[in-house]
Amino acid sequence: MAQGLELSVTDFQSSQNNMWHHTEEISFDHLIVRRGQAFNITLYFRNRDFEPDLDKIIFVAETGPMPDQAKGTRAVFSLAGRHGPSPWTASLETSRDNRLEVSLYAPPTAPVGRYLLKVHIDSFRGSVTAYQLGEFILLFNPWCSGDTVFLDSEPQRQEYVMNDYGFIYQGNKNWIRPCPWNYGQFEDNIINICLELLDKSLNFQMDPATDCALRGSPVYISRVVCAMINSNDDKGVLNGKWSENFSDGTNPAEWTGSVAILKQWHSTGQPVRYGQCWVFAAIMCTVMRCLGIPTRVITNFDSGHDTDGNLIIDEYYDHTGRILENKKDTVWNFHVWNECWMARLDLPPGYGGWQVLDSTPQERSNGMFCCGPASVRAIKQGEVDLNYDTAFVFSMVNADCVSWLILGGKEQRLHRDTNSVGNFISTKSIRSDERDDITESYKYEEGSPQERQVFQKALQKLKMGKSQGHYQADSKPSSLMPRRLNSPPLRPCDIIQVSLELQLLDLPNMGQDIKFVLLAINMSRQLKELKVNLSAQSLLHNGSPLPPFWQDTAFISLVPKEAKTHRCQISYSQYSQHLSTDKLIRVSALVEEKSCPEKILVNKIITLVYPAIIINVLGAAIVNQPLSIQVIFSNPLSEQVADCVLTVEGSGLFKKQQRVFIGVLKPQHRASITLKTVPFKSGQRQIQANLRSNKFKDIKGYKDINVDLYV
């Protein structure tokens, strides 16, 4: 009688499989594979060879706490072509010397997550034995055409899945600066933290069986992750804060990467303090790329936050030109979100591809603080009734901005601007450190017939949705809805026939005086007597104004066709104590002409500039060989700064974030330090650095570096 087949040991061939499945950056020791692609394992037997006519081998793959075949979280499938109902398959590769190599295949629709693999061996007339072979992780597969995250471009897959560093664009539309960021999605333990994040979601806590079953859908996963990046509804990764006091946490401007944040959340079990939009988006990029969903970080300059769904952002000013706080609608100087690539089988054909996900907690979506996925194509076409939160995202890039003067308790409309919201929508280019402007994928050219047609189409859909109670963002109706939304009237400058512009004279370097002029041109044939009220106030990047710290009044007489400039200067001593972390100053000029009741408002956003940190790599960078890195930094101010801390990191270069306590830096002082490290991954890498002090928080620098495998 044949002896029962006894399993001795299993080889998951992790190193080879992970290389085939593009997961070798995550691990060589633990099996991490992608769905829709076969992987090989080897079974070693103690007593004899596998005999196909005698031995029946059945594999079982299970995920989640309550695996269920009906839900797709438990798969049972046989070896040697005995095809059953399961879409999982096992096929024989080789069998000799008491060794059996098997090719296993998870379908491209399988739920992602951590799996336990088991085997049942039924030998003819022998006993049935069961073995636990071990755990493996299954991820989305953008290389597989059957996967809903399939991306048919290897350069794009390398950028949006495999690249572990990038840039997040900040500043303002007139001065866009790249902020280097270490996504670090393949760093030690990050994959486990990402899976932990799924298991800590409210969806999993309320119904773990259903949650795990739905993890095959990138639409579902993206909404779960989006809600878990912020902590408004749960113990998510980040606490958001938009005030100026970060003493009980980390100022959002200081972060240079996702790894430290995710590891702190994992080790403490509590939300990390603090984040703002670019930090939320960066963390989400890390998690989604780690799970295998192509993801990029997007910045929208002059981003609308329209809470009531009327596609109007109202801004209020007083007689001095000072912008007043509006707790309802705001224009963020810039706002950052994600795009994730996926098919949208839940929408009509044609709306797959890039989808907006915004994890910054702004409005509720189906009761949770998350936003998206919203099809970018649907946004461009004004299809604001399509899931999810398309109307809210449409307003961020398309809302009209109406300026109002508050005078004597009454509102006087200054003008309506149809193209001030949604500018220079930006992301990092593929295979390059350059900025890629993708505004045209979100909207037609400003002022074009198509752009206005789409705006009106979206507005009608929103009105219809409101009448039926379908507006997606959970918000209260606006008391301002009755205001007319017809074509904008003539601007005040057209009526008064005076052209006005604020112009910087020099680069606005931090620590130096800000010099600018108001240029006034009389376009008419009459004398113009102008009174100009100028003011300056700091802004938070979400548009919230701080009190004015500088004001000036000018009287300008212009003969017909004459141009004059009024010079202005704001000294460092005037703005230094009033500057927000965002380094934004809004200069406004409210102009009235003696013979006309109309008033003209012009303003300019100024972002103060720091000198960049300089990073020099001293010698060739080779895996497992010592490397010296020189970091040069300076205090740009004409006063002493204290509590200086230099932070340096880089995936594949440093095992953990490096923090160097510098202490005091004298006025205008330039210093350097040399750090030593041993690179442990080859290929294109990036070093990110930040210098903070008691006077500034985010002097940044970066250096791209290629690490060779051998000398």
Half-sphere exposure of 450 (CA within 13 A, CB side): 7
- CA-closest candidate to residue 120, choices 77, 178, 163: 77
Looking at 335, 415, 541, 566, which residue is catalytic? 335
Looking at 164, 358, 389, 400, which residue is catalytic? 358
Looking at 277, 340, 493, 568, which residue is catalytic? 277
In angstroms, the CA 644 to CA 81 distance is: 66
Residue with tokens 């055409």: 145
User: Residue 277 catalytic?
Assistant: yes
In terms of C-beta distances under 8 Å and separation of at least 24 residues, what long-range contacts does 114-117 make, across chains too? 114/63, 114/195, 115/61, 115/62, 115/63, 116/61, 116/62, 116/63, 117/59, 117/60, 117/61
Tokens describing residue 68: 């269920």
User: Residue 335 catalytic?
Assistant: yes
3-state SS, 111-124, equals CCEEEEEEEEEEEC
- CA-closest candidate to residue 390, choices 467, 335, 336, 442: 442
Give the max Cα distance, the chain. Answer: 115
> Burial level of 382, CB count in 10 A (0-12/13-18/19+)?
buried
Which 3 state secondary structure label does DSSP give 158?
A: helix
In this structure, are residues 651 and 258 in contact, taking their beta carbons and an 8 Å threshold?
A: no
- Number of C-beta neighbours around residue 487 at 10 A: 8
User: Residue 568 catalytic?
Assistant: no
CB contact burial 243-258 (16+ within 10 A = b; e otherwise): eeebeebbbbbbbbbb
In angstroms, the CA 415 to CA 404 distance is: 7
List the Cα angle 457/460/464 in 5-degree steps: 140
All residues at 6 or more sequence positions from 155 whose CB lies less than 8 Å from its CB, including other chains = 430, 431
Q: How far is CA 386 from CA 355, 371, 474, 529, 535, in A?
A: 12, 13, 16, 52, 43
| Catalytic residue numbers, as ranges | 277, 335, 358
